């Protein structure tokens, strides 16, 4: 098998993609922003049960600079472009997210095309699909795009939408023989391999820590990171995936209160701090006056949404775990790694 480049290998999704690529027999090259992160990536893979040895190599490259990308893609058949900024707090200016996301995707695509890479799989997001729209009863599918002129579209949502649009435009205009497939995950949960993980994991961490006074009326999709990685590999190798985008969602969207109830029911005493009372919207809006992080969620308060993974299941044979299993696996890994406040590292 050939070499696969994974951008952002120290990230939550990227590290799980590396695990599954190695298990499938591929050689893997991954990009890191600094050489010091190599040890962290290897530690995360050991936590995942893999010692890659010389089947994993590293290249230093940054999404905001040209240096390193020709070396990163050289000799690769496929690229999984997973890296993209996703901070827990609002940036001072939206371009702090938009520019590296869009320009980074284009840097990777340019380098991949010039190196004769066969296919790039881009990690986009449900953020590029289901925002800026009025509430609707029908689930979102891959034909929909976020309306950037809609109400309450945040910088992260803009960054993912503009980056994916730019990627498709590049392929259409100057991609040559390069193929593109896109994976659009909802909130990514599942087993944490180390301290560098998806912002969505913070929800479970804060619920388990008792850091939230209650459950805001927020509804969002859940998918296990192991299934997101599996979908990337399917999109990388299946001929039918070329030129397509695939929503990665495990089932119906959940309200935060449903997530909290699942944790309490499945984890017993370990989840004793998890709140299950519903916070009224007026109280959340009051808290947002002093907390910018809370302000980010206001446009989504009380808005039910849903999305369908029918295309990924039909075209690629994808079969994800349940949302509940993903949520519980998240909490169990946080307990095992000692990443909850006041909790000693749990026994494996």
* Number of other residues whose CB lies within 10 A of the CB of residue 102: 23
- Counting other chains too, the contacts that 266-272 makes at CB distance below 8 Å and 24 or more residues apart are 266/324, 266/328, 267/328, 267/331, 267/332, 270/208, 270/331, 270/335, 270/346, 271/207, 271/208, 271/331
DSSP symbols for 173-209? HH-TT-EEEEEEESEEES---SS---TTHHHHHHHHH
Q: For the chain, where are the alpha helices, taking DSSP H only?
A: 12-23, 38-47, 69-73, 95-115, 155-174, 201-209, 225-237, 256-267, 281-288, 292-295, 310-316, 323-336
Determine how many CB atoms are found less than 10 A away from the CB of residue 65.
13
User: Bridge-partner residues for 254, per DSSP?
Assistant: 220
CB-CB contact of 88 with 122 (8 Å): no
Q: Which of the residues are catalytic?
A: 160
How close are the terminal C-alpha atoms of the chain, in Å?
34
Distance in angstroms (rounded) separating the CA atoms of residues 47 and 221: 26
Q: Whole-angstrom Cα distance, residue 28 to residue 17?
A: 10
Query: What are the helix (H) ranges across 94-224?
Result: 95-115, 155-174, 201-209
Point out which residues pair with 215 in neighbouring strands: 278
SS3 30: strand
């Amino acid at each position: 098998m050939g070499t696969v480049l994974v951008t952002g290998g120290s990230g939550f999704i990227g590290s799980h993609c590396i695990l599954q690529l190695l298990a499938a027999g591929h050689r893997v090259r991954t990009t890191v922003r600094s050489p010091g992160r190599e040890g962290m990536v290897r530690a995360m893979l050991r936590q995942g049960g893999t010692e890659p040895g010389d089947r994993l190599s590293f290249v230093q490259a940054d999404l905001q600079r040209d240096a390193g990308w020709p070396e990163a893609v050289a000799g690769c058949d496929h690229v999984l472009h997973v890296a993209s900024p996703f901070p827990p707090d609002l940036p001072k200016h939206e371009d702090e997210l938009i520019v590296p996301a869009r320009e980074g995707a284009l840097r990777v695509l340019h380098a991949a095309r010039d190196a004769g890479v066969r296919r790039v799989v881009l990690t986009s997001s449900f953020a590029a699909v289901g925002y800026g729209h009025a509430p609707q009863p029908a689930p979102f599918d891959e034909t929909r795009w976020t309306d950037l002129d809609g109400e309450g579209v945040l910088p992260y949502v803009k960054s993912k939408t503009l980056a994916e649009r730019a990627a498709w435009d590049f392929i259409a205009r100057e991609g040559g023989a390069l193929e593109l497939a896109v994976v659009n995950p909802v909130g990514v949960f599942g087993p944490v391999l180390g301290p560098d993980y998806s912002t969505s994991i913070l929800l479970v961490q804060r619920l388990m820590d008792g850091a939230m006074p209650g459950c805001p009326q927020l509804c969002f999709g859940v998918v296990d990171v192991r299934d997101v990685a599996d979908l990337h590999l399917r999109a990388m190798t299946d001929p039918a995936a070329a030129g397509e985008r695939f929503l990665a969602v495990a089932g119906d969207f959940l309200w935060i209160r449903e997530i909290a109830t699942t944790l309490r029911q499945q984890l017993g005493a370990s989840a004793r701090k998890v709140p299950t009372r519903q916070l009224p919207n007026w109280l959340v809006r009051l808290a947002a006056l002093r907390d910018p992080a809370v302000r980010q969620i206001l446009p989504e308060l009380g808005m039910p949404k849903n999305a369908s993974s029918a295309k990924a299941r039909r075209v690629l044979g994808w079969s994800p775990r349940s949302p509940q299993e993903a949520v519980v696996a998240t909490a169990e890994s946080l307990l095992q790694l000692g990443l909850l406040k006041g909790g000693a590292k749990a026994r494996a």
